[in-house]
Amino acid sequence: MSRRLPPLNSLRAFEAAARHCSFRHAAEELHVTHSAISHQVKLLETQLQVALFRRRARSVELTDAGRLYFPVLRDALDRIADGTELVRSSASASVLTIQVYPTFAMRWLIQRLPAFQNRHGDVQVRLNTATRDVDFNRDDVDVSVMMGSCDDDSLHYEYLFTSDMFPVCSPEYLRGSPRLRDPHDLCRHTLLQVYVASRDWEKWLEAAGVADISLDNSLKFDSYALALEAALDGAGISMTRTPFAARELASGRLVRPFEPVVRADHAWYLTYRRDRLDTHKIRALQAWLLEEVHADPALATAVDDRAPAVGQ
């Protein structure tokens, strides 16, 4: 049996106007003009051959027919909205949005993600990068790999590793002049600094027993990736963290001029809302990520098995 339905625009206009008891407020909600609402309602009344509103000078009032029609139509539109959201949720259920820092993405995660995708073909990864941390109340993000403090009780923090910090430079730079014999010689060289991690050089120099080097004239970058690229080009000596320079150190494109290694102040965590703890796609990523961290030789000394997960 064919359905005799009025136009959807007319139904939406009537439902909004009936809910607000105002054509003006309905127009504001639907982002149309007052006259458009009036026209659509009049069209509906013509099709139904019944008046739905009593027009007043500054307001409208439902007629008996309007009061009869409004709850039926309201419930029908609510069910359509609920069904639409259900379909959208189902379609996006397999999409996993991950936010990480740019350097972590470029120098560790991206080369490994195909392995996760091959293992979990039902999960579609969407990778975002940002230098700021996620606001899970505002951002459309499922999980984040972040470094910092575990200070939000609504979040689960799964410990991954704790970075070591040390300086690196190109072999050509190390062989150049003036020579680098001990950390005190750094005063005669260009230091490459990540300004969003300004304490790195200070902490390492303090541990190396060097107190007379100013960082005011160092070259400053907004990411470890850029600082490392500058070091590869022979622009100076960059502070880095495990595992960012692992490939270049293994290939000999970068070298460590000095041995001291300093443990970073904050650990790395996989972070997500506690109410998503049992979500399949998040659990799959967490298990895989922990496997990759423990299998990476560059992180062999960076994983503290005593560090607990936080926020369970």
pLDDT of residue 212 exceeding 90, the answer is no
CATH number of 8-91: 1.10.10.10
CB distance 233 to 250 below 8 Å: no
Q: Which residue has the higher pLDDT, 66 or 1?
A: 66
The pLDDT assigned to 260 comes to 84
Cα distances from 238 to residues 26, 198, 199, in angstroms, run 60, 12, 13
Give the per-residue SS3 of 55-120. ECCCCEEECHHHHHHHHHHHHHHHHHHHHHHHHHHHHHCCEEEEEECHHHHHHHHCCCHHHHHHHC
Same fold, 8-91 and 95-162+266-299: no
Give the orientation angle of helix 64-92 with respect to helix 8-20, to 10 degrees: 110
Q: How far apart are CA 226 and CA 280, in angstroms?
A: 35
Which residue type is seen at 257?
Answer: P
- For residues 103 and 217, the model is more confident at 103
Query: What is the reported pLDDT for 172?
Result: 95
Long-range contacts from 211-216, C-beta under 8 angstroms, 24+ separation: 212/184, 212/187, 213/186, 213/187, 215/191
> Is the pLDDT assigned to residue 293 strictly greater than 90?
yes
Output the CA torsion sign for 77, 80, 86, 90. negative
pLDDT at 268: 95
Output the pTM of the full model. Answer: 0.66
Residue 93, pLDDT score:
60
Domain 95-162+266-299 has CATH 1.20.1290.10: no
Asked whether residue 311 carries a pLDDT value surpassing 50, the answer given is no
For residues 311 and 157, is the Cβ–Cβ distance under 8 A? Answer: yes
51-87 in b/e form (b: 16+ CB < 10 A) is: ebbeeeeeebebeeebeebbeebeeebeeeeeeeeee
Name the residue ranges covered by the structural domains of the chain: 8-91, 95-162+266-299, 164-263
Residue 36: φ, ψ to 5°: -65, -40
Residue 215 has pLDDT above 60, yes or no: yes
pLDDT digits (tens, 9 = 90+) for 142-198: 999 999 888 899 999 999 999 999 999 999 999 998 888 889 999 999 999 998 888
Q: What is the mean pLDDT of the chain?
A: 90
Q: Which stretch of 4-13, 118-127, 211-220 has the lowest confidence by average pLDDT?
A: 211-220
Rounded to an integer, the average pLDDT of 261-270 is 92
| Fold of domain 164-263 | D-Maltodextrin-Binding Protein; domain 2 (3.40.190)
Residue 251 pLDDT class (50, 70, 90 cuts): very high
Share of the chain above pLDDT 70, in %: 94
Whether the predicted pLDDT of 90 surpasses 60: no
Mean pLDDT for the stretch of residues 63-87? 88
pLDDT tens column, 19-41 = 999 999 999 999 999 999 999 99
Residue 38: its pLDDT value, please? 94
If phi > 0 it is left, if psi is from -120 to 50 it is alpha, else beta; for residue 171 that is alpha
Q: Average pLDDT in the 225-241 region?
A: 95
Whether residue 310 has pLDDT greater than 60: no
Model confidence pLDDT, tens digit, residues 97-141: 999 999 999 999 999 999 999 999 889 999 999 988 998 888 889
172 three-state secondary structure? helix
Residues 113, 100: contact at Cβ < 8 Å?
A: no
Interatomic CA distance for residues 107 and 231, integer angstroms: 15
